[in-house]
């Protein structure tokens, strides 16, 4: 530090007017005030720079085109806008602006990166996620047994009660006797638990088969009913139905895909199709009747405008019955 003090204690910067640098201003004329007055009358520096920047963005003469509330295009001056509107235009026009902060947390960003990394669309990702959830739920449900709600002692007593119908005292003595060798007791109950799980699996499978059989019977009854309706419906609102049309309608209702879903059921899940079906259900008959009446009315008008062909009536002065062309007298 002493060396620095000595450095600045010298006469390197003497207080001598002769060492002060002379500054010369190249001012035309003798009046300094007039010179600075002329400089102040030039264009505003900030506005001049901004105009040049707007030009790089494709905005000439600070004029921009905007849409009014009626979607009509009109040209206005950039400087007539508010500061917020000006900033919005500059941000939108600048391709190198800072990325927009979407306020995403780490988990949301990780999810987006996962979708991009697996090269999936949002729909494909959601479908895969739904499949995994269903699979996990199915596996979890399959591993749950009602018998697991009983501990070893409760399961042992339950089995004895069902097999031998023992009293409470007899059950207590049997349990006390079995617990004298806990390892053997645990082994016995483990085998017993496995047997009950197998019985539970068999019961659940039987219930599943019974439900499937019942659904098939209901579907067969429904199919038979729909076929009878098709056979007993020769026409709709005056429009005759051929066999191909009837088969197409039945196919749309009864043919099932791999998920057990028909095209008609899918239509019911489509809001537009559902609304269309509801409209036909409510107004279809009236609309077809109106068309039919209008059609028949036009045909009647056309028939009334057709003049009948003139007919020639020959008299039979002899009173003889004319049986053939040879009976005619010319």
Same domain, 245 and 206: no
Let me know if residue 160 belongs to a domain: yes
Report how far residue 216's alpha carbon sits from residue 61's, in angstroms, rounded to the nearest whole number: 77
Cβ neighbours, 10 Å, residue 181: 11
Let me know if residue 312 belongs to a domain: no
Same domain, 241 and 216: no
Let me know if residue 259 belongs to a domain: yes
pLDDT digit string, tens, across residues 242-297: 888 889 989 988 898 888 888 888 888 888 888 888 888 888 888 878 887 887 78
Same domain, 158 and 137: no
Confidence of residue 3 (pLDDT cuts 50, 70, 90): very low
Q: Model-level pTM?
A: 0.39
Report how far residue 34's alpha carbon sits from residue 222's, in angstroms, rounded to the nearest whole number: 104
Residues 6+ apart with CB under 8 A from 122: 115
Same domain, 151 and 222: yes
Same domain, 113 and 84: no
Report pLDDT for 53: 75
Percent of the chain with pLDDT over 90: 19
Same domain, 217 and 253: no
Same domain, 149 and 226: yes
Q: Which domain holds residue 221?
A: 145-230
pLDDT digit string, tens, across residues 165-188: 889 999 999 999 999 999 999 999
Domain count along the chain: 4
Let me know if residue 6 belongs to a domain: no
324: pLDDT strictly greater than 60 = no
Same domain, 201 and 242: no
230, 259, 291 - which closes a domain: 230
Same domain, 152 and 225: yes
194, 210, 230 - which closes a domain: 230
Question: How far is Cα of residue 141 from the mean position of the Cα atoms in its chain?
Answer: 29
pLDDT digit string, tens, across residues 175-229: 999 999 999 999 999 999 999 999 999 999 999 999 999 988 998 998 899 899 8
Same domain, 218 and 257: no
94: pLDDT strictly greater than 70 = no
314: pLDDT strictly greater than 90 = no
Confidence of residue 13 (pLDDT cuts 50, 70, 90): very low
Let me know if residue 315 belongs to a domain: no
Let me know if residue 11 belongs to a domain: no
Same domain, 155 and 221: yes
Same domain, 245 and 278: yes
- φ/ψ of residue 64, rounded to 5: -130, 155
Mean pLDDT value across the chain: 75
Q: What does each C-alpha distance from 177 to 159, 171, 173 come to in angstroms? A: 16, 10, 6
114, 141, 168 - which closes a domain: 141
DSSP assignments along 187-256, one per residue: HHHHHHHHHHHHHHHHHHHHHHHHHHHHHHHHHHHHHHHHHHHHHT--EETTEEP-HHHHHHHHHHHH-B
Let me know if residue 320 belongs to a domain: no
Report how far residue 252's alpha carbon sits from residue 261's, in angstroms, rounded to the nearest whole number: 10
pLDDT digit string, tens, across residues 245-254: 889 989 988 8
Let me know if residue 5 belongs to a domain: no
């Amino acid at each position: 530090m002493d060396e620095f003090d000595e450095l600045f204690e010298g006469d390197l910067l003497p207080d001598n007017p002769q060492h002060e640098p002379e500054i010369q201003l190249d001012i035309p004329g003798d009046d300094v005030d007039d010179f600075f007055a002329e400089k102040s009358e030039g264009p505003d520096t900030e506005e001049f720079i901004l105009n040049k920047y707007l030009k790089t963005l494709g905005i000439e003469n600070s004029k921009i085109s905007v849409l009014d509330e009626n979607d009509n295009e009109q040209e206005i001056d950039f400087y007539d806008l508010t500061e917020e509107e000006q900033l919005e235009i500059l941000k939108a026009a600048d391709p190198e602006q800072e990325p927009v902060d979407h306020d995403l947390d780490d988990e949301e960003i990780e999810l987006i990166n996962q979708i991009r990394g697996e090269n999936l669309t949002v729909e494909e990702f959601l479908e895969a996620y739904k499949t995994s959830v269903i699979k996990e739920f199915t596996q979890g449900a399959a591993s749950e047994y009602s018998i697991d709600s009983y501990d070893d002692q409760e399961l042992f007593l339950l089995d004895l009660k069902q097999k031998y119908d023992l009293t409470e005292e007899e059950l207590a003595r049997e349990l006390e006797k079995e617990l004298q060798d806990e390892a053997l007791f645990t082994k016995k109950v483990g085998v017993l638990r496995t047997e009950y799980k197998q019985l539970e699996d068999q019961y659940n499978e039987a219930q599943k088969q019974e439900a499937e059989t019942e659904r098939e019977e209901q579907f067969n009854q429904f199919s038979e009913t729909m076929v009878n309706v098709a056979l007993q419906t020769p026409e709709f609102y005056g429009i005759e139905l051929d066999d191909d049309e009837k088969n197409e309608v039945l196919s749309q209702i009864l043919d099932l895909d791999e998920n057990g879903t028909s095209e008609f059921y899918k239509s019911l899940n489509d809001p537009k199709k559902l609304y269309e079906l509801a409209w036909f259900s409510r107004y279809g008959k009236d609309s077809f009747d109106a068309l039919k009446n209008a059609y028949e009315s036009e045909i009647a008008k056309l028939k009334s405008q057709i003049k009948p062909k003139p007919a020639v009536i020959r008299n039979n002065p002899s009173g003889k019955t004319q049986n053939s062309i040879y009976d005619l007298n010319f």
